[in-house]
Amino acid sequence: MDTPPEKTSVPDVEKEAIPDISQNAVRSGSVVPEQILKHSHDADAALKAFAGYEGQVIEIDEETNRRLLRKIDMNLMPILCLVYGLNYLDKTTLSYASIMGIKKPHTDNPMTSGVDLTGNQYSWLGSMFYFGYLVWEYPTNRLLQRLPLGKYSAFNIIMWGLVLSCFAAVENYSGAIAVRFFLGVFEAAVTPGFALFTSQWYTKKEQGTRTGIWFSFNGFAQIFGGLVAYGIAKGTAKHGSSIEPWKIVFLVTGILTICMGVIFLFTMPDNQMNAPWLTKEERLIAIERIRINQQGVGNKHFKWYQLKEALLDPLSWAFFLYALVADISNGGISNFFSQLIVGFGYTPQQSLLYGTPGGAVEIVSLIVCGFLGDRYGRRILISCSGLCLAILGMILIVALPLHNNKGRLAGYYMSQASPTPFVALLSLISSNVAGYTKKTTVAAMYLIGYCTGNIIGPQTFRASDAPRYVPAEITIIVCWGVCLVDLLFIHVYCKWQNKKKAELRSHPGYVKLDNQEWLDLTDKENPEFVYTL
């Protein structure tokens, strides 16, 4: 964990919110990038927090830092974890519904009524969620920058819960398509919003572990969802029900999401400056402790030069490529895992129960890789271990004969370690992309790749290939192999950029600006910025 300096001078905001670059930096022989001189007039919102504390000194010792970090964790992490778990659960409800009656023809009897899905319509239903996500991803990232972060995120959580509940009233394929599209629209804000929360509150060395923890609740959601779906299926089979079991699944998860959205609205602050559970002094310390990130807490002004830099940065496109290729695999598995397990030789009800250990594999792999990545400063390389395990698992599914159902099921469990690099890169958007407009743009690009991959993924599972889906499984293996190469490039590129920046800082005439951390500079234009590996 990074320990802030023991004493920190608090700047005079009225004097330094618009730094006097000419006096502080332009000296004989000094090395100050031109971009800093040009764009430093629009500083980060963090400077506003120090108004009225001119010249005072804040004491931040090790014990104070630990105590504040515990307080931040206790107030932020539980709500982030629970909501992100619901975010995954809402996506997988369709997979549970696929073996609980949603594919049956629509009738007037609510106990035997489905949506009458034929051919590849189920695959398109899986993809349609990501069309909505894709269409709204960049606009929602702009809104995350412009609007209060906590309140806008809460609005989207409540709305996606309402939309998910509406799925229980769907009677035909066109209605199901519409609901899935709008579900994607409202869920598009969740992942980039949570990445912003993480970069806003935690130091770089803390971000990998925290991102891994809240993302790992995908695994908890898989366990919880499988058990709930299994209980509903068994209960309705034994005692009967006035509506189809698959509709109950959508109602339960939708209403639970709405309740969590309301809690999120009243408990999640927009930033440190309006956190009700921090004292006035703690708010300042919470901002000061992330000074080391060289990023600040947010800037609501859109900056065209940062958009351009994001689009021309090779690192942005390497992130995009990974999300695109990796999520071809994810889109197929997340929508078809129940049917895959049925294909291994188990009953539909058994598939609901036997899918849950895969969630435990995901939880363990994400938390362990996140912790070790932060501990040893090798977040990218350590995350590759989960992907290698997933490749081995998918090879088992393809290579083992049909009668070896236990071996193929074990292969499926191993494949659930695949999200470790995706989460590592998501945390690197928090750690390695600076400049608020650039950060939101790169996050949008990453999740546009995520959407596109998830749209393609279900289409690789063709109805004619059931029950083995060998072409889809081979496609997944190839995609993960490409991902390993991309991860190696990202690691080497970041290491090279750090070397270049170190050379610039070692120049005899280099001068660091006062409060340079709060100038909303991008990672490229800030010589003090160090990329996390």
Query: What's residue 514's pLDDT?
Result: 64
Confidence tier at 52 by pLDDT (50, 70, 90): low
Q: Where are the alpha helices (DSSP H) in 147-279?
A: 149-166, 173-187, 190-201, 204-239, 245-267
| Both tokens assigned to 187 | 């869920």
CA-CA distance, 240 to 242, in Å (whole number)?
7
CA-CA distance, 496 to 490, in Å (whole number)?
10
Q: Of 71, 83, 40, 408, nearest to 213 (Cα)?
A: 83
Q: Of 328, 330, 322, nearest to 424 (Cα)?
A: 322
Whether residue 231 is predicted with pLDDT greater than 70 in this model: the reply is: yes
Whether residue 12 is predicted with pLDDT greater than 60 in this model: the reply is: no
Cβ neighbours of residue 295 closer than 8 Å, sequence gap 6 or more: 44, 199, 434, 439, 517
Whether the bond between 467 and the residue before it is cis, its omega within 30 degrees of 0, is yes
Percent of the chain topping pLDDT 70: 84
Whether residue 421 is predicted with pLDDT greater than 60 in this model: the reply is: yes
The residues pairing with 9 across neighbouring beta strands, listed in sequence order, are 57
Confidence tier at 424 by pLDDT (50, 70, 90): very high
What is the arithmetic mean of pLDDT over 154-175?
91
198-229 tens-digit pLDDT: 988 998 889 889 999 998 998 888 888 888 88
Query: What's residue 461's pLDDT?
Result: 82
CA-CA distance, 2 to 375, in Å (whole number)?
11
Lowest mean pLDDT among 54-68, 355-369, 435-449: 54-68
438-466 tens-digit pLDDT: 988 998 899 899 889 988 888 888 877 77
What is the arithmetic mean of pLDDT over 297-310?
83
**Cα atoms found within 13 Å of the Cα of residue 79, Cβ hemisphere only:** 23
Lowest mean pLDDT among 93-97, 247-251, 504-508: 93-97
- DSSP state letters, 91-130: HHHHHHHHTTTTTSPP-S-TTS------TTHHHHHHHHHH
What is the arithmetic mean of pLDDT over 51-63?
62
Mean pLDDT of the chain: 82
CA-CA distance, 199 to 433, in Å (whole number)?
10
- DSSP state letters, 365-390: HHHHHHHHHHHHT-HHHHHHHHHHHH
Rg (CA), the chain: 24
Top pLDDT among 496 and 109 is at 496
Whether residue 226 contacts residue 412, with contact meaning beta carbons closer than 8 Å, is answered with: no
Cβ neighbours of residue 5 closer than 8 Å, sequence gap 6 or more: 60
CA-CA distance, 158 to 172, in Å (whole number)?
25
Query: Can you give the three-state secondary structure of 309-349, one letter per residue?
Result: HHHHCHHHHHHHHHHHHHHHHHHHHHHHHHHHHHHCCCCHH
Whether residue 414 is predicted with pLDDT greater than 90 in this model: the reply is: yes
3-state SS, residue 269: coil
Query: What's residue 48's pLDDT?
Result: 62
How far is residue 226 CA from its own chain's centroid?
22
What is the arithmetic mean of pLDDT over 127-156?
90
Query: What's residue 14's pLDDT?
Result: 37
313-329 tens-digit pLDDT: 999 999 999 999 999 98
3-state SS, residue 227: helix
Q: At what angle do helices 420-432 and 356-376 cross, to 10 degrees?
A: 40
Amino acid (one-letter) located at 39: H
Q: Of 168, 84, 91, 77, nearest to 129 (Cα)?
A: 91
Cβ neighbours of residue 13 closer than 8 Å, sequence gap 6 or more: 47, 48, 50, 51, 52, 54
What is the arithmetic mean of pLDDT over 101-124?
65
Whether residue 389 contacts residue 361, with contact meaning beta carbons closer than 8 Å, is answered with: no
CA-CA distance, 42 to 485, in Å (whole number)?
38
Whether residue 380 contacts residue 532, with contact meaning beta carbons closer than 8 Å, is answered with: no
With 0-12 / 13-18 / 19 or more C-beta atoms within 10 angstroms meaning exposed / middle / buried, residue 28 is exposed
Cα first-last separation, the chain: 15
Whether residue 391 contacts residue 481, with contact meaning beta carbons closer than 8 Å, is answered with: yes
Query: What's residue 477's pLDDT?
Result: 93
Q: Fill in the DSSP letter of residue 513.
A: P
Q: Fill in the DSSP letter of residue 7.
A: E
Top pLDDT among 236 and 277 is at 277
Helix (H) or strand (E) holding 473: helix 470-505
What is the arithmetic mean of pLDDT over 123-128?
80
Whether residue 43 is predicted with pLDDT greater than 70 in this model: the reply is: no
| Both tokens assigned to 471 | 């072409």
| Both tokens assigned to 510 | 């280099």
Query: What's residue 113's pLDDT?
Result: 52
Helix (H) or strand (E) holding 282: helix 280-288
Q: Can you list the domains of the chain with their CATH numbers? A: 74-510 (1.20.1250.20)
Whether residue 388 contacts residue 445, with contact meaning beta carbons closer than 8 Å, is answered with: no
Lowest mean pLDDT among 114-118, 136-140, 188-192, 323-327: 114-118
CA-CA distance, 215 to 207, in Å (whole number)?
12
